[in-house]
Amino acid sequence: MSQKFVVVDLETTGNAPKRGDRIIQLSAVVMQDDVILEQFTSFVNPLHPIPPFITELTGIDDQMVKDAPLFEEIAEKVSSLLEGAVFTAHNVSFDLGFLQNELEEAGYAPFIGPSLDTVELSKVVYPTADSYKLTELSEGFSLSHDQPHRADSDAYATALLLNRLTAKLRDLPIVTLESLLNLSYHLKSDVSKVINEIIGEKRHHIENLPPHLEVFRGMALLKKNSSQLPDVSGSIAYPKVESEKEELLSNVNPLFEKRSGQFQMMDAIMESFLEERHAVIEAGTGIGKSIAYLMPCIFFSLQTNNKVVISTYTNQLQDQLMNKEITALEKGYGSSFRTALLKGRSHYIHLLKFEYSLKEQEYQYDSVLSKMQMLVWLTETETGDLEELNLTSGGRLFSNRIKHDGWYMSKEKDPWIERDFYLHARKRADDANIIITNHSMLMSDAMNQNDLLPQYDFLVIDEAHHLEKAAKNHSGISLDYIGLKFLIGQLGTSERKQLFSKLESVLQKLSISPAVHAFEIDHHLSNLDQDLDDLFSVLSQIVSKKDKSRQHMQKVTIRMNEELSKQRIWQSAVHCAERVRSELKHIRVELEKRLQLLSSEEKKLSTEEKAFLEEMHSFLLEWAAMEDNLVKIIIRPSTEIVAWMEADLKSIPNSILLSGKPVSLQKPLNERLFTQKKSIVMTSASLSVDGSFDYFMNEIGLEEQGVLKLQLSSPFQFEKMAKLVVPRDIPDIKTVPMQHYIDAISNYIIGLAQATKGRMLILFTSYDMLKRTYNLIKDSGILEDFILMAQGISGGSRTRLTKNFQKFDKAILFGTNSFWEGVDIPGEDLSCLVIVRLPFSPPDEPLVQAKNEQLKSNGVNPFTASALPEAILRFKQGFGRLIRGNEDRGIVIVFDRRIVTTSYGKSFISSIPRIPLIQAELDEITDLIEEWL
């Protein structure tokens, strides 16, 4: 790049220069023509102490800056470096804003040139990156970055990243670059300068489009893989003896270690398929579960010409199977087989809708950024699966507009039909031996019987302990104030430039006059808005009334049951809901009539107009679902579901959420899944309670007869790897006030943290308790040199919090709910797992309450039949966070003394691998930790 770039990074005492935070280190790398010309770095004396958190983060302490120059002494040098340059930084608004403040304080003119944010550019150029943090991008691209969070290393790494980003931009076809340029003027930093210069360079020579790309309708995209699918004839025999299995698995994985449990699992699955029996297999950590079920699936499919479907709980696991295990098996297998990954239609991009969106004169930041990301992604994606993209939350709203919902107009008239990603995925699935999907898609296919998956009779359900939850989520319904308002806002009145206005424009262009005028629909929209506010105003009163009994609670949950339905205020809510529903229906019917009028004139419609109709059709599907949910939750509550209302008392009505889920799905799961398929294998590390699968099987409606059952313990030597500790000097949770208990565990956590030097994961069952404990510890200031991270407080997803936790030595992570499973922190990053409370579901949770009532009415004890086994399975999942690999070592500390003082406590202890149980006081425990770790 002929333009001069100065890449800057600052380390500071905090992030608020207006409140006295100062620079402690500055580094500037000067680049031109993709070459680093010089780097200037200096510590800076901030004239006040560096906070311990910053020292822990950067490694810079007061001693290192004591004799460093003041900023005023280096301001002239910095100012001269920036002259005529593009100011570049990773998160440019922070570094530029901070530096401007320091320059002004030192009496120098602020920098007024162009600026470039490498975070923003990275999002465009690498739209599928897991993270846009500098450390993770540097690691992913093997860039030199020896000391993260030090200005010299960060600035140098950012300069190398800039080179990487511009190189990738040069590889993009000019048609993509031109589309990017048009959008880039609406970004926050001057990305347009970079793209414009590269287009100028490319125009000096004729571009040959790479053979893997094609340009269609002005958009470059990866060509569909039209190569012949592998011939799967001549399959080889299933390896029956151990030596054959060892040989085969050694070809798949050069680091293969023999595990008899893995072989047993392979044989059991093969047997259940051949004998057409269902199977339940619990496989402990370290068995190699994925390979153990993939191998027999492949052999069985090839030998019998039957499709096998494999369902995982998350899209992440699905992608891992395809990209890791399947890839390894294909290399080492010695015989070809066909695999396809299939998700629900709405996961895929609808190319006609996307093409139309590019022509809109709409420049909202998140939409612009998302469009740019998608333009680059289309040159790389084989699947068209929108999940691949790392979008902002606003970007996800945009992707909702261009997702696939089938076709409203005649499918054959879609110019993109030959390149449609969903149809391509369906075709691959039709031709495949193994189809990998997720529980959500599996449930949609089974419960709605709508043939989303090709015909199959053999199924493996991984992470099967989530099956019932996935079924309930699929059958569940919800409504929230913000969501309803957003949907109505998307439609807009005929005056606002939203969907309704666009629809009217198309009708006018074709001189079509609907029976009902736009003014009338506007009137109904206005009524709808008011009726919705009235409804949520009444719901807010119900929530506020409930709060009087629980002053300390910020979040409130109210079950919408018979008792509530008899109250006069609830009758008011129902009347308001009926008015809302009437308006929703009237508007929907009129909009559907307009769509029908336009579809009858399909030949006169331009491609853009057809794409708009597809978007409008998708929108009306959401509108109809909202209408339907309102009826099922408030107006005519379904007897099949338990309905409840949740709200955060600090932000009502905005936080009000109405939900409904079935109490049990035993019957539908049995009828629509287990009796329909010849063999279903369910596997997980947590399916048994006290050596029995009865609870799991009963929950999912799987009948006992003919089921193959197998329990395989972990090959790890847990007795040498872990200890279970129960403190003697913590009060019994049931005998003291909650604040007393929180005070006690907070003091304990502080003592443990100092012994373990961090590396602790603390699992709570209640967000309220987590928050109060976290705040108490943070406010004490005793762990000031530790990094404290808490779910719902520190910000970021579970994955992001986990990654951040692994970066710091002295880190403590507070988690609830989703942190009890699926969190993988191997090795020394996690040495101590604290379980604050045995994970019983709160008895006043609406679903739990309804289930208990149902069990009682059948003469069954809810505690032993449901609450206890559910808590034991969750406890097993929580324990599983500690030991993830053969080399791991650690301590599990359970604060809840009920594990040793109650008769049912033994069931929790016997549910985990046999490890030493120690009861001791804090001093003894800290000594034990220091010695053990």
Please report, in range form, the residues annotated as the binding site for ATP: 283-290
What type of residue is 929?
Answer: I
What are the tokens at 739? 């604040």
What type of residue is 498?
Answer: Q
Burial class (CB in 10 A: 0-12, 13-18, 19+), 904: middle
Q: Measuring CA to CA, how many Å separate 602 from each of 268, 408, 499, 606?
A: 56, 11, 19, 9
Q: Measuring CA to CA, how many Å separate 208 from each of 179, 201, 202, 710?
A: 18, 14, 11, 59
**DSSP of 600-647:** TTGGG--HHHHHHHHHHHHHHHHHHHHHHHHIIIIIS--TTEEEEEEE
Dist. CA 816–CA 813, nearest whole Å: 10
Dist. CA 634–CA 229, nearest whole Å: 52
Q: Which residues are annotated as a binding site?
A: 283-290
Q: Measuring CA to CA, how many Å separate 719 from each of 586, 885, 890?
A: 67, 14, 11
CA dihedral 11, 12, 16, 20 (to 10 degrees): -160
Residue 305 has φ and ψ, to the nearest 5°, of: 60, 35
Burial class (CB in 10 A: 0-12, 13-18, 19+), 3: middle
Residue pair 837/896 in contact by the 8 Å Cβ criterion: yes
**3-state secondary structure at position 684:** strand
Dist. CA 600–CA 302, nearest whole Å: 48
Give the helix ranges, DSSP H, for 757-824.
767-780, 798-807
CA dihedral 288, 289, 293, 295 (to 10 degrees): -10
Q: SS in 3 state form for 494-506?
A: CCCCCHHHHHHHH
Dist. CA 479–CA 657, nearest whole Å: 6
Which strand (E) or helix (H) includes residue 465?
Answer: none
- For residue 653, whether the previous peptide bond is cis, meaning omega lies within 30 degrees of 0, is yes
Dist. CA 802–CA 796, nearest whole Å: 10
Beta strands in 136-203 (DSSP E): none
Dist. CA 186–CA 178, nearest whole Å: 14
Q: How are beta strands 657-662 and 641-648 bridged, if at all?
A: antiparallel
Residue pair 194/121 in contact by the 8 Å Cβ criterion: yes
What type of residue is 888?
Answer: D
**DSSP of 824-861:** ---GGG--EEEE-S--PPPTTSHHHHHHHHHHHHTT--
Q: What value, to the nearest 5°, has the Cα angle with vertex 133 and ends 129 and 135?
A: 105
What type of residue is 695?
Answer: Y
What are the tokens at 550? 């629980």
Residue pair 827/888 in contact by the 8 Å Cβ criterion: yes
For 697, which DSSP code?
H
